[in-house]
Chains A and B, each alone.
Chain A
Amino acid sequence: MSLKPIVEPLSKVLGVPVAFAQDCIGPKAREAVNAMQPGDVLLLENVRFHEGEEKNDRKFADALAANGDLYVNDAFSAAHRAHASTEALAHRLPAYAGEQMRLELTALDRALGHPERPVLGIVGGSKVSTKLDLLRHLVTKLDKLAIGGGMANTFLYAQGHDVGASYCEKDLAETAREVIRLAGQNNCKLFLPLDVVVAEKMAPGAPARVRDPGSIDDDERILDAGPETVERLCRAMNNSKTLIWNGPLGVFEIPPFDKGTMEAAKHAAKLCREGKLVAVAGGGDTVAALNAAGVADDFTFVSTAGGAFLEWMEGKTLPGVAALSR
């Protein structure tokens, strides 16, 4: 997609005229850059229009570098990909982290790199399968980890509970048991649901009941964390200095199954406002849930980076960050 429609809005936000070049390399880019005066801003066309970008191609990176004296990476959200504009270019020009990148890296370091302890994690969302690396890594780093959302059903099932008609990845039961074992070996206290909210239908306003994990009927589906579970989670927040959160506790898009996520989010926000907790959250669903609770601004940091945030939480080296390291 062309970036041309972004020129006007960007100019408005920055409060300066923004010029536009129809190509990010070659004569069009060169002419536009040569015409610039100190303080000018130019938007170059989408790098993804060139095949060399995603291939991390050296010649393409050379062509980009031809129009610069220094390189600034301000896109943490793209740092998990080794592309020409995030990786190869950093080796061709003096390379710096931009202000947004600095903010993001500093916040993530406070949450997981060098956190104030005890540090509590919340991992929710529906699938264990997409968050295996995350769970395995987090239990080695955190003091406490609460598991919520649909993935908690798989853990309950792995512990021998009948989960009725709930979403559940039954083939991952052994994996869930491995995560439970790993947590024990690493002295990470694991919180699985004490109680759950169930309904026969996942629909707005559907009649909901609170159940113990051991007493779920065949036609019932787990759609949210129960009140005791949320209360214990809030107590765990009270006793922690740092919180890192990825994934909602229930089907927060469909009331009343938003209750667990909303209450936990509001409690974390309150502790942040009181200066008692450093809370960092990330991932698309999580950001949407915090916005729905109206508390995103209260959190210490909310990352909109999606994939890069997740890979960073998994303990992986992000090529775009590694390339800036000195």
Chain B
Amino acid sequence: MAAFQTLDDAGDLHGKRALVRVDLNVPLSHEKGEDGKVTDDTRLQATKPTIDKLRAGGAKGSCWPTSTGPRARSCRR
């Protein structure tokens, strides 16, 4: 496996602006007249370890996810 750096290698995080690419492609229920509700939060849970680590280090965590809609791309192929 090619070597890669993790947050353990990032040094002092305090006050740093961290841009985090996450996958929040979660299934949403569609009820009329209101925003969809998340029906499976597995992918939200999966972001927690990284965000927790950044917060513990005092970083400012900006996540920017992509989503193509309710599970539109996640399960095909």
Contacts and interface: CB of A to CB of B under 8 A. Distances in A.
A9 B39 CA distance: 10
A74 interface: yes
Given A33-B17, A46-B67, A74 B62 contact: no
Interface in A1-27: 1, 3-6, 9-10, 13-14, 16, 21, 24
Given A43-B64, A44-B64, A284-B74, A10 B69 contact: no
A78 B21 contact: yes
Contacts of B26: 6, 9
A154 B36 CA distance: 42
Contacts, number: 211
B67 A1 contact: yes
Contacts of A321: 2, 4
Is the interface on chain B under 10, 10 to 19, 20 to 34, or 35 or more residues? 35 or more
A325 B1 CA distance: 9
A37 B55 CA distance: 10
Contact of A113 (B1, B19, B38): B1
Chain B's interface: helix, strand, loop or mixed, by majority? mixed
A73 B19 CA distance: 8
A85 B68 CA distance: 15
B12 to A, nearest CB: 11
Interface in B7-56: 7, 9-10, 13-26, 28, 35-38, 41-55
B63 A43 contact: yes
Contacts of A33: 17, 60, 62
A45 B20 CA distance: 13
A245 interface: no
A192 interface: no
Nearest to A307: B77
Contacts of B35: 4-5
A38 B14 contact: yes
A98 B50 contact: yes
Interface stretch (A64-72, A164-172, A181-189, A232-240): A64-72
Contacts of A1: 67-69
Given A72-B50, A74-B47, A100-B46, A3 B65 contact: yes
5 contacts: A46-B66, A53-B66, A69-B16, A70-B10, A96-B6
Interface of A: 1, 3-6, 9-10, 13-14, 16, 21, 24, 29, 32-33, 36-48, 53, 64-65, 67-78, 85-86, 89, 93-100, 102, 105, 108-109, 113-114, 130, 283-285, 288, 304, 306-307, 310, 321-322, 324-326
